[in-house]
Amino acid sequence: MALDIRALLSNTAPSARIFAVTFFRGPFATIPSTEEAGLTASQIIDRTAPEDGPLLAEDKARVPYFVPCALKVAPFVGKTAERYPGQSGKQRSASHVPAGAGFAIDLDGITHEDKARILGRLVASEGQFCAYSTYSHGKNPDEVRMRVLLFMDRALEPLQWADVWHVLNRVFFDGLADVATAKLSQQAGVWATHPEREGVAFRSMNRGALLSADALLALVPPKAERPQRVRPKVSGAALTGRYADALAMIGADKFAPWMIGLSALKAGVVLGELPEDDAAGLWFAFSDSGSDAAKAHNDDKRYDPAHLWETWEPTAAPAEGLVGKLFASARDAALSACRADVARVGHLTAEGLRAARYLAKYHPRAFDELTSEVQA
């Protein structure tokens, strides 16, 4: 029997002042700039995606970011601890988030059909939500990048909150949500866009009911029944080769995939899958493979591969999620290359063949589905 998503709604008044939000000056800041508690869900929406339009910013680094919760005072960690040795305070990290009742869930690179279906489902649920385009939306007219704010009737500690995130991903988003946002400490940008893309920015919302935390928790599978992530049973040179092949598939010409590669390589070191020297070598080779235009600003510290390798700390998502995003991005890039060839010339070019071989080697299910499409 299909789930009636309206059964997930709470009897708690939507005006309940149970929400909090913490803002940061930019995507790389870890120390909060402001923090507010005792807000309604509507006030959270008004502060992060006001209806008078998106923030216009030529540089994404100038866009305020937020986490949908308050922070607690705890010892600083990571690079922040290096700057403030032995000190404690509020910081954006998994060690500093006590509980949360709100969600900021990203859907990156979905289709316009996906967007219409998901928004239709959210509207039909009669729950309170706000969906808005992210800063990078509009760079590719064929894909949608949006963020969805959802609200529960009570706060949950981070592990339960993450369990509910996966329920929401299944119920509302068909599993398309970015797994990086399955962490309460993951920061999200406010509604913003480059001035040149203002015309394609969008926002959709409904000031309806809150979601029931208890109803959502009831949909969390018992731990014994949860599917376990199976990591590749390869190591050493073979696994290093998979990273290299995935990086080659996504390419380093655009900033987003370039940073996906950096985060995945750093995460591979954390997971013990890559020796640091091997990961660094892959990173510099990947960066050097970019076009001259992509490398034009490498003398700027923000884009210098050597500086980024020394300073970048991927603390915003689980290491497995960062590696998984690289492999998923490479799979999607390979599928797109093959489908584009078939649509344009009716057969695979050299580039398409390279993509097909990548799929056959690392994503056999996707390769089988692609073969069925071509033969249909």
77 and 125 together in one domain: yes
- Residue 1 domain-assigned? no
- Residue 57 domain-assigned? yes
More confident residue, 222 or 172: 172
Residue 306 has pLDDT above 80, yes or no: yes
Query: Given this model, what pLDDT does residue 23 score?
Result: 98
Query: Final residue of a domain: which of 174, 196, 222?
Result: 222
Range of the domain at 347: 236-375
- Residue 230 domain-assigned? no
- Taking only Cα atoms into account, the Rg of the chain, rounded to an integer number of angstroms, comes to 21
Give the integer Cα–Cα distance in Å for 372 and 376.
6
- Residue 6 domain-assigned? no
193 and 298 together in one domain: no
110 and 244 together in one domain: no
277 and 188 together in one domain: no
- Residue 281 domain-assigned? yes
C-alpha distances out from residue 72 to 91, 113, 176, 287, Å: 8, 40, 31, 38
The answer to whether the CB of 145 falls within 8 A of the CB of 186 is no
- Residue 3 domain-assigned? no
pTM: 0.62
Query: Final residue of a domain: which of 160, 193, 222?
Result: 222
Cα-flanking dihedrals φ and ψ of residue 338, to 5°? -65, -45
Give the integer Cα–Cα distance in Å for 144 and 115.
7
Calculate the average pLDDT of the chain: 88
201 and 309 together in one domain: no
Residue 150 has pLDDT above 70, yes or no: yes
177 and 242 together in one domain: no
Nearest residue to 60 via CA among 145, 122, 181: 145
Give the integer Cα–Cα distance in Å for 281 and 297.
20
Parallel, antiparallel or unpaired: strands 88-89 and 144-156: unpaired
Give the integer Cα–Cα distance in Å for 155 and 184.
11
Residue 106's CB is within 10 A of a number of other CB atoms, namely 20
247 and 296 together in one domain: yes
- Residue 8 domain-assigned? no
- Three-state DSSP state, 174: coil
Using left for φ > 0, alpha for ψ between -120 and 50, and beta otherwise, residue 91 falls in beta
- Considering Cα of 302, then 69, then 314, then 130, what sign does the dihedral take? negative
Give the integer Cα–Cα distance in Å for 329 and 251.
10
For 224-247, give one letter per residue: b (16+ CB within 10 A) or e: eeeeeeeeeeeeeeebbebbbbbb
Give the integer Cα–Cα distance in Å for 59 and 187.
17
- Residue 124 domain-assigned? yes
Query: Final residue of a domain: which of 169, 199, 222?
Result: 222
57 and 196 together in one domain: yes
Using left for φ > 0, alpha for ψ between -120 and 50, and beta otherwise, residue 53 falls in left
Cα-flanking dihedrals φ and ψ of residue 101, to 5°? -115, -5
The answer to whether the CB of 261 falls within 8 A of the CB of 313 is no
**What pLDDT digit, counting tens, does each position of 261-291 carry?**
999 998 888 888 888 888 888 998 999 898 9
Query: Given this model, what pLDDT does residue 78 score?
Result: 75
189 and 335 together in one domain: no
**What pLDDT digit, counting tens, does each position of 158-189 carry?**
999 999 999 999 999 998 998 878 889 989 99
253 and 208 together in one domain: no
pLDDT confidence bin for 367, thresholds 50/70/90: confident
**What pLDDT digit, counting tens, does each position of 57-103 carry?**
998 889 999 999 999 999 988 778 888 888 999 999 888 999 999 99
Ranges of H-type helices in the chain? 41-48, 78-83, 112-125, 158-173, 213-217, 236-250, 255-270, 276-288, 305-311, 319-345, 350-362, 364-375
Q: How many domains does the chain have?
A: 2
244 and 173 together in one domain: no
Query: Given this model, what pLDDT does residue 2 score?
Result: 56
24 and 127 together in one domain: yes
pLDDT confidence bin for 146, thresholds 50/70/90: very high
- Three-state DSSP state, 31: coil
**Helix, strand, coil shares, percent, the chain, to 5:** 45, 15, 35
- Three-state DSSP state, 189: strand
